[in-house]
Structure 1
Amino acid sequence: MRLTSRGVALLCAAAVLLAAGFRFGYPELALLGTCAAVAVVCALGYAAGRPRLGVTRVAEPDRVARGEPATMTLTVRNAGRLRRASLVAEDRCGNQPVAVPLLRLRPGHDTTVSYPVPTHRRGVIPVGPLRVTGRDVLGLVRFSRRHGPVTDVWVHPRVHPLSAVPAGVARSLDGQIDRVPHGSITFDSLREYVVGDELRRVHWRTSARVGELMVREHVDTSLPTIVVLLDNRAVAHPVVDGSAATFESACEAAASVVAAATREGLTVSLLLVVPDSGQGGYLDRLTEADLRHGNPGDSTSRGGTRSGLSPGGGSRGGRSGDDPLRTATDRLRQQRLGDTLVFLTGPGGRADLGRLGALHGAYPSVVVAVFDPAGQPPTVGHVEPAGPAGPGGRPTGGTGGGSAGVVVIDVADGARFAAAWNGVDRW
């Protein structure tokens, strides 16, 4: 709330008129000055009254893929008893202002405005709060109020269709991803017999003790697991004009692999080289993912998350903790989180392929995608896992066509990644 130029001029005129009227004995001037001062005070009192507005936002939908349409519907209701004149409202959609007509909104009535939400970039777009501005009848005081909460619209990375996903040598009792003739099951618990259970699963000793039929319940302990490792280091992705195009492509590839694994009924795990909070669904985590700088010495990311290993999972504060990628690969090697590893990086991570080749012993299938728009044409090659990493992080085993090596996909963006992925004859 502040005085306008007209209000400041009237207040100064009131002071001059009052001073002249009392100084020189002109009651008319004093009366005029008093009227001007009362007008300013009334305007301040009018502006101090907060308009009672009810604000409701509905995003349709609130989660979309990048480039898909999304609409925000805003409803403003005047819950007060007095009519407010000359109200002007403005909503915020990300960094863009949206005008909302509220001129002379009558008590008990509402107005609805719908406008598109920009979804051309991945991320969480905050919408709101509603900013209401107004002035008194004489235009002496201008006020501004904020109403309603902030609603987030999640713009997920695009998902490109993938024909299949590598499943390593893991076994599935359902018969969907079998690579070996027999699966493995483990006893889990006992439960009461129900009609339709096989009699060979009845545990007769327990049944005799409790006086009713009890059957054994088993679980599959060898379901295939896909591990997606997204390289979110700032050194791996160049930033051009405020945007890292290769990181956006890597996020699209990660979303595509996760969607394909979920469709095939596989267990999938999403990891970031510089860890995030790990909360929310896969697509929500990819929406919030951004480039981070590992802090040498304590491995603290920009968001304050430590990338050191947990007790029992490796050393903390040692040499491996100085490099987030080295810490991540050490954890993957020691804990063996799955059967297939998919590593997605940018041109700055090309020199670290040797570290991924060293993981081939722990992960039967290792796929590396390097996104580089300025690189070579889309290719699919292999990096042999034999031999340690040489100077600059490159594997000493060289590059060849051996199927036992790490599959390396060099592409420019997410769409070409899907095409190259689907072009692989056999994982």
Structure 2
Amino acid sequence: MKPTPRGLALVGGGAILIVAGFAFGYPELAVVGAAALLAAAWAVGDAAWQPRLSVARSVEPDRVARGEPCAQTLVVRNASRLRAATLIAQDACGGAPVPVPLIRLRPARDTTVTYPVPTGRRGVVCVGPLSVTRRDPLGLLGSSRTHGGTARVWVHPRTHPLAAVPVGIARSLDGRVDRVPHGNITFDALREYVIGDELRRVHWRTTARVGELMVREYVDTSLPRIVVLLDDREAAFPQPDGFEEACEAAASVLVAALREDLAAELLMLSASSAIGTGDHQSVGPSGARRVDAAPLLDRLAEARLHPGAAQPEPDTGADTTGALEQAIDRLRQYRLGDTLVYLTGAARAGDLATVGALRPRYPTIVAGVFGDPAGVPATVEGLRVLAVPDAAGFAAAWDGIGRW
């Protein structure tokens, strides 16, 4: 409970009247002061009563693209048996309060409130909890309590359709891409047996150890794989809107790759590891593999610019903090794919040259530079540079490359 300014003034004035009444022999003043203190005591007792509320929360859908509609539904029930509740309630939605009217909510009754969740910006919107504030009728004391849990809404970047998808030097076993003479099947992991698996793939030693049938999981390492390297250094994007455009371009490339059943990886300079489609596969009833793109788009929704990184070298324009170099070292050590897409807002020749040095490991390298195209090198050895103002321009330039 927290006293209001009116309550503090009433208590202070009542105490002064009681002291003045006894000191100067005016019992009337003491009576008025005692009445003020009794009113404050009654306010404490009234504010101490808290209604029993149960709150059910649902968000539909919990993952949307930027600008798509999303609704939050609250069902508030008065679990008290005796008193109706008239309360001032506010629900937190992305840091902004949303009023929730609870006027004479009778015992064992509920009310439903629905309001839209703002999806105009990419990110993760936290919704809840419901905050209920009570005041006594005189407005002397106020108490606040939270009810119910919270929910999260992932606002994914918008995607732009890409007609062309690079295939690198590899080929898929179905023959769609034919640029190497052989495929390559490699052991990947062990998993539990699923009806329909071939018994010749059972790993009997592990099965004997864990007590369940375990089978070998293989992957075709010759399948075309796309790696998206997103620059999330604050100094790389003088305008924050440029980073939003880069996230949209990354989402567009990933969605296009999944549409063509190609494996894709997402790596950010601030992250210690990549997240890929191979990490989020499920087996359908028919035994077919299904790839879930939500984790990749969730990572893009959570992406933020990291301050204090990427101070350029005056002479070379390279990153002196090593964030880019560390990412390049990981890509050089662990060959994640055969097509690399580097998205940044800085047209520093040193950074572009560092990425272009991966050409022996990645046959196809594309650099998307967002913002003012002035000052962007037209050609950099080892990669193709697409200097574009926004994600829509990136999609147009991407499809304009033609044959990969």
TM-score past 0.5 threshold = yes
Q: TM-score, normalised by structure 2?
A: 0.78
Gaps of 5+ in 1: 203-215, 298-318, 386-405
CA–CA distance in 2 between the matches of 1:32 and 1:327?
A: 76
SS at match of 1:248: helix
Other-structure match for 1:271: 267
Offset at 1:143? 2.1
Other-structure match for 2:393: 416
Q: How does 1:238-257 map to 2 (within 5 A)?
A: 238-239=238-239, 244-257=240-253
CA–CA distance in 1 between the matches of 2:187 and 2:33?
A: 93
Offset at 1:343? 0.6
Contact 2:267 2:273 in 1 (8 A): no
The one-letter code sitting in structure 1 at the alignment partner of 2:343 is L
CA–CA distance in 2 between the matches of 1:186 and 1:154?
A: 35
Offset at 1:151? 1.7
Offset at 1:382? 4.9
Contact 1:237 1:348 in 2 (8 A): no
Identity over aligned pairs, percent? 57
RMSD across aligned C-alpha pairs, in angstroms?
3.5
Offset at 1:109? 1.5
Offset at 1:162? 1.1
> Which segment is superposed worse, 150-159 or 72-81?
72-81
Note the alpha carbon deviations across 1:233-262, whole angstroms, 9 max, x for none.
1221103xxxx1111111111111111111
Note the alpha carbon deviations across 1:76-103, whole angstroms, 9 max, x for none.
2211234355411122222322111112
Contact 1:54 1:76 in 2 (8 A): yes
Offset at 1:23? 5.4
Other-structure match for 2:288: none
Offset at 1:330? 2.2
Other-structure match for 1:8: 8
Other-structure match for 1:183: 183
SS at match of 1:361: coil
User: For the structure 1 residues 368 and 26, does the alpha-carbon distance in structure 2 shift closer, same or farther, using more than 3 Å as the test?
Assistant: closer
Gaps of 5+ in 2: 202-215, 276-293, 312-317
Other-structure match for 1:113: 113
Contact 1:235 1:348 in 2 (8 A): no
| Matched residue count | 361
Q: TM-score, normalised by structure 1?
A: 0.74
Contact 1:171 1:184 in 2 (8 A): no
Contact 2:87 2:132 in 1 (8 A): yes
Contact 2:319 2:351 in 1 (8 A): no
Offset at 1:59? 1.3
1:375 correspondence with 2:366: no
Note the alpha carbon deviations across 1:161-184, whole angstroms, 9 max, x for none.
111321211132132333234323
Other-structure match for 2:212: none
Q: How does 1:7-406 map to 2 (within 5 A)?
A: 7-19=7-19, 33-83=33-83, 86-185=86-185, 220-239=220-239, 244-275=240-271, 281-293=295-307, 322-372=321-371, 374-375=372-373, 382-385=379-382, 406=383
Contact 2:233 2:309 in 1 (8 A): no
SS at match of 2:247: helix
CA–CA distance in 1 between the matches of 2:226 and 2:54?
A: 47
SS at match of 2:56: strand
| Larger CA Rg, structure 1 vs 2 | 1
SS at match of 1:89: strand
